[in-house]
Every structure is written in C-alpha cells, then in structure tokens.
Amino acid sequence: MNEKFQVTSSPHIHNDFTVRSIMLDVVIALIPAGLAGIFYFGIHSLWVILASVISCVVFETIWNILLHKKNTVGDLSAVVTGLLLAYNMPPTIPVWMVIIGALFAIIIVKQFFGGLGQNFINPALGARAFMLASWAGAMTTWVSPSLFGSDAMSSATPLSLLKAGGEALQNMPGVQKLFMGDVGGCIGETSACLLIIGGIYLAMRGVIKLRIPVSFILTVSVCAFLFAGGSTLAERLQFMRWHTFAGGLFLGAIFMATDYTTSPTTPKGELIMGIGCGLLTSLIRLKGGYPEGVTYAILIMNIFTPLIDRYTVPKPFGSKSGKEKLEKKLMNFIAKKQEKKEAAN
Amino acid sequence: MGIKTFKGGIHPGYMKKLTKKSPIIKLEAGRQVVIPLQQHIGKICDPLVNKGDYVKVGQIIGDVDAYVSSPVHSSVSGTVVAVEPRLSNGGVEVNSVVIENDGEYIEDDTLNLKGNYEEMSREELIETIRKAGIVGMGGAGFPMHIKLDPKDRNIKYIILNGAECEPYLSSDHRTMMEHADEMIFGINVMMKILGARRAFIGVEDNKPDVIGLLLKKGLPYQIEVVPLETKYPQGSEKHLIKAITEIEVPHGKLPADVGVVVNNIDTCISLYNALVLGKPLYRRRVTVSGKAVKNPGVYDVPVGMSFREVFEAAGGFTKDPKKIIMGGPMMGAAQISLDVPIVKTTSGILAFTEKEGRVYKESPCLKCGKCVDVCPMNLMPYVISKAARNDDIEKAARYHASDCIECGSCSYTCPSHRYLVEGIRLAKTKVTALEKSQKR
C-alpha cells in the first residue's frame, strides 16, 4: 500500500461550486431571453449573439497567448460577457461593431485590469457605454418585433415613448406585451418574463442573491410611481408598470448588477447597490437626456463598489451591540462633564 | 418545539449514514501502546514511570504540578519499554510513554475514584475529576477540573453539545443512543459542581432517534433536549450557546463569563466512568469512517492504540487512502502517518479516497461574497485572507481576523477554491504577534 498521504489544511471537503459551474448556470439562465430575442427580432440577432460570444472567447485566448498565460476561457466567464454584450445590442447592429465592442470588453475592461475578478466595471456594460459613445446612431436604432423579423420596421422603444411623453404615450404597448417582450428594444432585454425565469433559476441554484435585483427593481417602481407623472392613482400605477417592465431593467437587475466582481459583498452593501442603481436609473430616465438609464446606473454603482464594501463591514459575532456602545458613550460623556466640573471647582 | 439555530453556516454532504446505525464496537489494544504525555491544552506532563517499570490499567503515568494540565493514565497493563518523543497526531513529536501490552489488563486500584457524588463536596469532586484525567473530548482538550471551577463566575446553564455538526462523525450520536443514562448522570454531576439551574442537550435534527429516545426517557425537569437545525458549524461553542439561549458570547470572553458552560457528550460519560466505575479517562469512542475504510463505524478505543491498528480492526482499507484525517473533515488535521496514537481528543479518524479528499487548485477571487454570507462569525474572509497574504497585517486585524473560529465554511463554499482558512490562520498568527509586540 502506498503510504504517502496528502497533507493539507482543513477543510478537507468542498462543495460542487466552481467558477465554471457558476458561469454555466448564468449561461443557462440567459438562454431563454436570447431565444426570445431571436424569435422577436429575427435571425440577425443570432448572428450578433454568436459574433459577440465567439469574439469574446477569441480575444481572451489571444490575450492569454500573447502574455504566455494559461488559457482561461474554460471558466466560461468570456462566454457570459459575450452573451451579456449581445443582449445589450439593438437587433440591427452591424456585426463588426459588436466585434469591436467585444474587444473593448475583454481586453480593455477585463484584462487590462487583471482579468477575472479584477475588473472594476462590468465588461459588457463598459463596452456598451463605449459603443454608445462611438456609434450613437447604430446603437439607438430600434425595430418593432415581428415573427422572426420578417418585416422589421424601425420603431421607438417603449422607453423613448415614455421619454417623449404626451401624445406618444398613446402608442405605448400593453403591459402584457411589455412583460412578454413583444416590444422594441435590445436583443435580450425585452422579455421580463423569461429574464425572471432565468433569475429564479439562478437564485435557486444559489448563484445570485435576491437583495440586489429585488431592491433595484422595487426602487425603480417606487420612483416611477412617485415621480413619473400622472395625476390619478390609476395613472401613477400605469407609469409604474411601464417603467418597471420597459427597457433593460430586468436584464440589468438580475444579470448585470449582480455581477460578483463589480458588486458589493456585504449584505448591507448589496442593498445599497440595488437601491443606488434604482435611484440612478430613475434619475436618468426621468430627468436625464437618455430614455434608458440602467447601463449608466450600474456602471456608476460599480465604481462605488469598493467604497461601499469598506463602509458596510458587518459586525462580527459577539461584538458589542449598538445599544451598549451608546450607553458607553453616554457614560463617557457624563464622566467627562463631571471631570470638567471638578476641574472648574 | 421550534428548531433553533444561528446565522450563516453551510450544509455540507453529511455522509453520516456510513456510521450512524452501527452499534459501538469495543476494541482492545495491540501489542504496544504509545501514550503521549500531552493530550490536553496546557503544560505537558512529566513521565512518572521509567523504562522497565510495570504499569497497570488506569495507573497515572504522567502528571505535572501546573494549574492548566491533566494527568495521563495507562490504557493497558504491561512493561514500559520506552519514554521518548514519538510522532503524535499534531504532526510533531511529543514525549510519550511506550508500553508493551501483556494482555492481562490488571487494574490499578490506587486511584479510588469511586464515590457517591451526592455526598461528596465540590472540592472532592473536582479533585477526583482531575485525578481521572478528564479533559474536553470534543477536540480542544481543555482540562475539565478547570472548566468546572469557574471561580467567581456564576454558572446558570450547562449545555451538552450533541450537535455533532461535522460530516462523517457519529460517535456522539451512537454514544447518546447507547449510553443516555450515563450521560444524564454526568449532567447531574456537573450541575451539582457548578450549581447550575438548568441543562440543555443540543441535538441536530438529523438525529431524530436521539431526540425521540431522550424525550421518551422522561428527563428530569431541569434537563431539556433542544432540537437544532442541521447546519455546520452548529456545534461551535459560541453558536450553540446562541442557538439555545440567544446569548451572544462577547468578543474575547468565555462562555463562563455569560454564565454558560458547554461540554462534550463523551466527556460527560467519563464522569460516570470515573465516579461509578472508578475508571480514569483512558478509552474513548472514535468514529472510523471514510470511503477507503471497509467497515466504517463507531469504535470504543483505548488511548495509545495506533491509527493503523484501529483501521485494521475496522476491516482495513478497500482502496488506497489518499488522506488520513484526525477529527472531522471540516476542522480535522491531515496526518502524515498511520503510526500515530489515538488520544483523548480524537473524535474520529477518517481515511479518504482520492476522490473524497480532492485538492483543488486556486483560481482568482471573484469577490462573489459567498464566504461573507456563510461566515458564522460575520467576518469578511476574502478580505482578511488577501490582506494576510499581502502581509497587510493591520488590515487583517481591522477586519477582525482574530475572531475567526477556523470552521472552514468559507473555504468549503468558495467557488474559486481559495485557501481562505489558511490565509486567515496566517493572519491570526501575525495579528497575535503584532499585538504582543505593541504591548511591549
């Protein structure tokens, strides 16, 4: 018998999670929304998705070869970035633009800062912001959904109708259509229903926690109810429903604001992230120049993430409760006063 | 009857079915026993016997005149063949007494441990417990006579730790099933010594047979069984107290400071063994498990028997073991050799196959925060570990590195397989060193 035993530090067992299994779960959770995108906007959406995923994987491989590093595409994080990037593209985007976007996401946002786990903003969203600045026209050309894109017509997204307000609101699609995703928008963002299903899958698998998505979505809903306009309760509720289900809120809240690396790790921090994203989204949508604010809201909160983590360190088990601390402060205060009095005397 | 628990923790694969149904099997020592002179926290014992001496079962073979220490007894009768440093299960050599077993098992009758505890005074009882060499058998090995003498602290509750939250281990489970009366005797003794008003037996709800048995038995009104959620590390002293009494032991304080004493099941039974049977602590119940073992089960093993002999008694190995662990898989220590002795604190010995004890490569931290979620001490393991490995000790201290109980939940759950506990252990050592140097 071989009597050379392996000696390692405890613990000696481990659960089944790996980076790869988590990324695979995210990919699985994203598939339904992508299929809906292809279904609504046509086969070009498929090419966009494939181009994005493949170029992300290829760019990461090239980077690793150039830097003589072990290839890391096996962890599937590049695939997730590729999917998310594609889902954030309008269905008519030229494929070459997507490839340049993927280059920006993988090389500049992810690898320049140290690769997996080190990027300070979400790579897909960083690339989307870069593309919005570079090709404003192509990035904001929308088509109305039609079965497999057979007779795609350019149209406004629900959010741009909301932005225009007034008579444009007459053309707002019904909430049911919004929920199912049968409206204009980015490839993977329109179907709140399928994104929620993906989110439930991720939550059940323990991949994401619900604090960020729920607080994000609720904050946007509440802000829309309070500030989006409308004079009667029914109107306010209508605005709330529109703002909740239109645009990229569910894609952002479930799949991008929850990105591990760029979101806080503490329970309190996660709530701050979600509420912060919600407030910024509402601010941009309601008061800013753009109809949609999810991208920039998440990017801004990404940048705050290290700071949030630093200020929301949880209290260790057995540390003094707030009440005891307060009492101690009070006692100190009284003692000091007493001292002063005695000194004065 | 609600199920109680604490915040955080993990649900590992428990693997208890390998051992939880098998009755305890008594093993006899082999040709030789190696008894380390330190099986407790505190000062190492001086040997009281020399090479060539004849010793009897239960005879004191090592003791030292120190407050924190506990005597060591022979588990066999026979001749001392050596008093020398031998490899022990801490991975280092410890001065040990090696005894050639003559198989006669002649009992030593000079200790006089037997007595009616109801008539004995507190001091007499504590002295008897010291003489019997009873220490905490959960793993730490804190001498019992000190724990039961909390000076001016007023102890209200005694908690018996029947959680057995470590995967694989079933020794407490089987002991509670087969020796419940002895356990209750031990609780009564402890309650008398400490003047405690109530006692709780905390049992995880994956042992419904134990809970049922104890309820059916009709415990005295001051002893209560508390079902606990099956969650690791439910058996951690501070978390057990939190779950049962809602009391949070403050940072840097002992359970006794909040009026609670927590004890291990087997420790409790050794009180019975000493006072009723007159036997000091030289045997204990050990879970022998792991997928490389032919007959996993719970064995009643004499102290000083080697791991090799115990595994052989358990039918030997079915496959080549890749890893040998003393204790549970979450907090136990991997061993370099099979020729190390069972000691008073050996709750289990595991032989893992290559697949069971798989060692993973680290990949970069994703900052997913899973370690923060599961940490029962509410720490941020990834921050502490990284700070320690970057030699930023002040940062590690600022993030309360020294509060870590090394339960391993963070490493267990990390999708990147970061060696978080190692990092934090490093941090703890360095933080302690830093604090010492600052005090100077």
Respond yes or no on whether the N-terminal peptide bond of residue A11 is cis (omega within 30° of 0).
yes
Task: In whole angstroms, give the CA distance from residue B354 to residue B290.
Answer: 11
Q: Check CB contact under 8 Å for B367 and A21.
A: no
Q: Which of A1, A118, A267 minimises the CB distance to B320? A: A1
Nearest C-alpha of chain B: how many angstroms from A33? 24
- Sheet containing B54-55: give its strands across: B32-36, B93-101, B78-87, B54-55
Q: In the predicted model, what is the mean pLDDT of residues A267-280? A: 96
Considering the domain architecture, whether residues B391 and B339 belong to the same structural domain is answered as: no
Contact A28, A201 (CB under 8 A): yes
Using beta carbons and an 8 Å cutoff, which residues of A are at the interface with B?
A: 1-3, 5-15, 17-19, 21-22, 75, 115-118, 209, 260-261, 264-267, 270, 309, 313-320
B14, B366, B404, B420: which to substitute to probe chain A, counting the most A Cβ within 10 Å? B366
The per-residue pLDDT for range A168-179, each reduced to its tens digit, is 888 888 888 888
Structure tokens given for B55: 């010793």
Give this complex's ipTM.
0.89
Q: Are B135 and B268 contained in the same domain? A: yes
Q: Which two tokens stand for residue B100?
A: 């050639």
Name every residue whose Cβ is closer than 8 Å to that of residue B381 and which is 6 or more positions away in sequence.
B371, B372, B375, B404, B410, B420, B421, B424
Answer yes or no: do A5 and B337 touch at CB < 8 A.
Answer: yes
At residue A320 the predicted structure's pLDDT band, cuts being 50, 70 and 90, is: low
Q: For residue B374, which of B2, B1, B40, B11 has the smallest C-alpha distance?
A: B11
On whether residue B278 sits in a domain, the answer given is yes
Report CB contact under 8 Å: B322, A313: no
Collapse the DSSP code of A153 into the 3-class scheme (helix H, G, I; strand E, B; otherwise coil) and give the result.
coil
B415 closest CB neighbour out of A18, A261, A313: A18
Neighboring chain B residues of A318 at a CB cutoff of 8 Å: 238, 248-251, 253, 377, 403
- Cβ-defined contact of B411 to A11 (cutoff 8 Å): yes
Confidence at residue B1, expressed as pLDDT on a 0 to 100 scale: 42
The CA distance from A270 to A252, in Å, is 15
Residues of chain B with pLDDT under 50: 1
The count of structural domains within chain B is: 2
Q: Is the same domain home to B189 and B292?
A: yes
pLDDT digits (tens, 9 = 90+) for A163-221: 888 788 888 888 888 888 888 889 999 899 999 999 999 999 999 999 999 999 999 99
Distance from B95 to chain A by nearest Cα, in Å? 23
Q: Do B369 and A266 touch (CB under 8 A)?
A: yes
List the single range of A57-66, A281-290, A317-326 with lowest mean pLDDT. Answer: A317-326
| Site of tokens 């949030």 | A308
Residue with tokens 């595409």: A73
CA nearest to B291, candidates A11, A8, A12: A12
Residue B251: closest CA among chain A residues belongs to which residue?
Answer: A318
Same domain, B390 and B351: no
A318–B382: do the CB atoms touch at under 8 Å? no
To test the contact with chain B by mutation, choose from A2, A5, A12 the residue with the greatest count of B C-beta atoms within 10 A, namely A12
Q: Tell whether the model's pLDDT for residue A321 goes beyond 70.
A: no
Is residue B422 in a domain?
yes
Taking an 8 Å cut-off on Cβ atoms, the answer to whether A318 and B357 are in contact is no
CA–CA distance, B203 with A307 (Å, rounded to integer): 42
- The dihedral region occupied by A44, where left means phi > 0, alpha psi between -120 and 50, and beta the remainder, is alpha
Same domain, B265 and B353: yes
For residue B13, list chain A residues with Cβ-Cβ distance below 8 A: 13
Q: Is residue B73 part of a domain?
A: no
- Among B248, B325, B399, the residue with its CB nearest the CB of A318 is B248
Name the domain boundary from B333, B359, B385: B359
Q: Do B378 and A15 count as a contact with CB atoms less than 8 A apart? A: no
From the list A11, A115, A309, the residue facing B364 with the nearest CB is A115
Q: What is the pLDDT of residue B344?
A: 94
What SS3 state is found at B269?
A: helix
* Cα angle A61-A63-A68, degrees, rounded to a multiple of 5: 95
In angstroms, rounded to a whole number, what is the distance separating the alpha carbons of residues A94 and B65?
85
What's the pLDDT tens digit per position in A4-18?
899 999 899 998 889
Interchain contact, A13 vs B412, CB within 8 Å: yes
- Record the tokens describing residue B218, joined without a space: 């009709």
- pLDDT-derived band of residue A152, with 50, 70 and 90 as boundaries? low
**pLDDT attached to residue A148:** 54
Q: Quick one: pLDDT band at residue A157, thresholds 50, 70, 90? A: confident
Q: Are A267 and B377 an interchain contact pair (Cβ–Cβ within 8 Å)?
A: no
Question: Residue B79 falls within a domain, yes or no?
Answer: no
Comparing alpha-carbon positions, the chain B residue that sits nearest to A20 is B415
CA-wise closest residue to B28 among B286, B278, B274, B309:
B309
Cα separation, B171 vs B19, whole angstroms: 8
- Residues A117-130, buried b or exposed e (16+ Cβ, 10 A)? bebebbbbbbbbbb
pLDDT of residue A153: 66
Q: For chain A, give the percent of residues with pLDDT over 90.
A: 66
Q: Which residues of A touch B249 (CB under 8 A)?
A: 318
| Residues A130-143 pLDDT 10s | 999 999 989 988 88
Nearest CA in chain B to A3: B337
| B49 assigned to some structural domain | no
Nearest Cα to Cα of residue A187 among A226, A217, A157, A221: A157
In sequence order, what DSSP letters do the residues of A38-55 get, joined into one string? Answer: HHHH-HHHHHHHHHHHHH
pLDDT (tens digit per residue) in A14-49 = 988 899 999 999 999 999 999 999 998 889 999 999
Q: Which amino acid is at B115?
A: G
Specify whether B353 is located in the same domain as B378.
no
Question: Global pTM?
Answer: 0.90
Neighbours of B61 (CB within 10 A): 25
**Is A15 within 8 Å of B367 when comparing Cβ atoms?**
no
Structural domain containing residue B421: 370-439
Out of B310, B337, B359, a domain closes at B359
Q: How far apart are CA B173 and CA B98, in angstroms?
A: 32
How far is B284 from B287, CA to CA, in rounded Å? 10
Collect all residues of chain A within an 8 Å Cβ-Cβ radius of residue B364. Answer: 115-118
Least-confidence region, from A117-131, A322-336, B337-351: A322-336
Closest C-alpha to B282, from B125, B88, B135, B98:
B135
Distance CA(A301)–CA(A196), nearest Å, equals 22
